[in-house]
Amino acid sequence: MSEQVRNKILRAALQNALDHGKTQDKIVLGKILGTEPLLRTQVKEIMPAIIEIVNSVNQMSQDQIKRQIQDKFPDLLAEKPKKQEEREGLPPLEGAEHGKVVTRFPPEPNGYPHIGHAKAAIIDEEYAKMYGGKLILRFDDTNPEAERLEYYAAIKVGLDWLEVKYDRVKNTSDDIELLYKKCQEMLDGNYAYVCTCKQETISANRREMKPCKCSMGELEQNKDRWDKMFSKFGQGDAIVRFRGNMSSENTVMRDPVMFRIIETKHPLLGDKYRVWPSYDFAVAIEDSVDGVTHAFRTKEYELRNELYYTILDLLKMRKPKVIEFSRLGFEGMPVSKRVLRPLIEEGKVSGYDDPRLPTLEALKRRGIRQDAIRKFVLSLGFTKADTLAPFETLESFNRKIVDPESIRLHMVKNPASIKIKDLPSSTITMPNHPTKDMGKRTIEHDGGFYVESEDVDKLKPGDAIRFMGLGNVKITSQSPLEGQYIGDGLGTDIPKVHWVAQKNAQKIKVLIPSQLFIGEEFNASSLQEINVFTEPHYNELKEGKEIQFVRFGYCRKDSMLQAIYTHK
């Protein structure tokens, strides 16, 4: 037998043993014949070699197997990471080298994290993981007017909840001195200038594609004005502008702002600094010095890429690769702070955790799990087209996760009373889950029950219904509604009803959130509040527990007195 065939056998045996610990003659034979159909006529000849090689491979430790593969068939190892990428549902990253990828999630601490941030952070993390790289959490905090200390914390809490793990955390404001230095370099190179025009003049010039007098000033003038930005000038008196091209088709390039004066105290640095970089300048410098290799941001920033790369070119700094993805939002659920803040301030929603909102706090409170969010985000993939995803898609990922963990309880919304005679016992024991072993609960009753009005309003004496978990009941009177226990036999077409024992019924509220906006219109009835009766066992559940109210849907226990509807 040729050396070539022996090698093929060894290769198949090693690969199989790598995947499964041990290998077998028959499996190796199958693999060989699968790839080398010509050998099918020579099974007798090759079989002894297979047995011998399989035997020797089965004597090796996993380490020895790996070493052999590395020596003789390194391509087998190279194939591994590829498989993993496919499983993650994200396309491979252009120019990504294993172990060298650095991504960053750069939120501005100016609001609570929401589903859009979840998308960005999860994609940043998944790519870092996929390539054995690193994720940086960088607070983009260079606009003190909008930023508050509580938001730094809220964002971290949100990421913890999402189980997004970062390797490093920093603030753009940590690097303020470096950013000044880089600005100085830009001014020295005459790539930027200080402009003292009024805001209206600047806007008009941008529209009319006209440069202003300041842009023609000498280097000395710029140097002098830059110094004054730290002393004499006040907010609005002067800005540093990048020297772009006032007649560029790309409006971003029409001499954009690089630094401005903001008198408001910074949440971390107080009033130590008042000259702050613009987003565009800070993000380019920071990504470069932080070692970011792949910088993701949402599509509406696409026009800013030219500025980003040009700044780094002029400063001769390393350029990360900027990649855009679509913004994620839900129909009728605003993510933008511009829309959210007034809703809260005007009291139209109760706060950042109002269950109608797509903030992480709200989704959590509503009963959406972090792993459902991750699956959902990855299922959307990496499209550039803006995604107004149907909330139902997130719900269906969530349902799969909560269903096996949710206790089943009875809950009655529109109660009708019924008295039942001849019940065999004054207690009823029911399983907490139909298929999982989640224990049982026992309910005491005195023959008086609440049932759903709509389940009983058409019943006539003589009709039979099945009380779930209890047995069959024959209606004996319509008004008042009364019945008689008639045994436990499973009739085929007896309608099933759920019930709550009156003796120990718990009055709680269920909040049912729906779309906050219908089109542009605020939906005043987007939070329905219903008073319901449920079982005493509700009291024993921890806050935050997911419940399936039988024949109603999944809800999350929000407090002793209130549950929030999650989904069907």
Q: Give the binding site for ligand ATP (CB under 6 A).
A: 106-108, 111, 116-117, 119-120, 140, 297-298, 327-329, 335-337
Pairing of strands 482-485, 415-421: parallel
Which DSSP letter does residue 257 get?
Answer: E
- Considering the complex, what minimum distance in angstroms separates the CB of residue 299 from ligand ATP? 9
- State the binding partner of 292 from ligand ATP, Mg ion, none, CB within 5 to 8 A by kind: none
Beta carbon of residue 242, minimum distance to Mg ion (angstroms, whole number): 20
The answer to whether residue 116 forms part of the interface with Mg ion (CB under 5 A) is: no
> In a 3-state reduction of DSSP, which class is residue 521?
strand
* CA dist., res. 341 & res. 148, Å (int): 14
Residue 337 site contact among ligand ATP, Mg ion, none (CB < 5 to 8 Å, cut-off depends on kind):
ligand ATP
Of ligand ATP, Mg ion, none, which one sits near residue 364, judging by CB under 5 to 8 A according to partner kind? none
Q: Toward ligand ATP, which CB reaches closer, 104 or 399?
A: 104
| Residue closer to ligand ATP, measured from CB, 336 or 427 | 336
* CA 265/CA 183 separation, integer angstroms: 22
Q: Which is nearer to ligand ATP, 277 or 415 (CB)?
A: 277
CB of 143 to Mg ion, least distance (A): 8
Cα separation, 28 vs 53, in Å, equals 10
Residue 514: closest CA among 452, 557, 568: 568
Q: How far is the CB of 119 from ligand ATP (least distance, A)?
A: 4
Which residue has the CB atom at the shortest distance from ligand ATP? 116
Comparing C-alpha atoms, which of 390, 348, 318 is closest to residue 527?
A: 348
335 binds, among Mg ion, ligand ATP, none (CB under 5 to 8 A by kind): ligand ATP
Burial class (CB in 10 A: 0-12, 13-18, 19+), 334: middle
Task: Report what 244 binds from Mg ion, ligand ATP, none; CB cut-off 5-8 Å by kind.
Answer: none
* Binding flag, residue 108, Mg ion (CB under 5 A): yes
In the complex, what is the shortest distance from the CB of residue 108 to ligand ATP, in angstroms, rounded to a whole number? 4
Q: How far is CA 179 from CA 109, 146, 171, 265, in A?
A: 19, 20, 12, 19
Structure tokens at 444: 């005491």
Nearer to ligand ATP (CB atom), residue 163 or residue 300: 300
- Dihedral in degrees, nearest 10, Cα atoms 72, 75, 79, 81: 80
- Least Å from the CB of residue 88 to ligand ATP: 18
Residue 353's identity, in one-letter code, is D
Phi, psi of 60 (to 5 degrees): -85, 155
Q: Closest CB to Mg ion among 108 and 174?
A: 108
> Quick check: 367 and 554 in contact, CB under 8 A?
yes
> Counting contacts by CB under 5 A, is residue 279 touching Mg ion?
no
The residues binding Mg ion (CB under 5 A) are 108
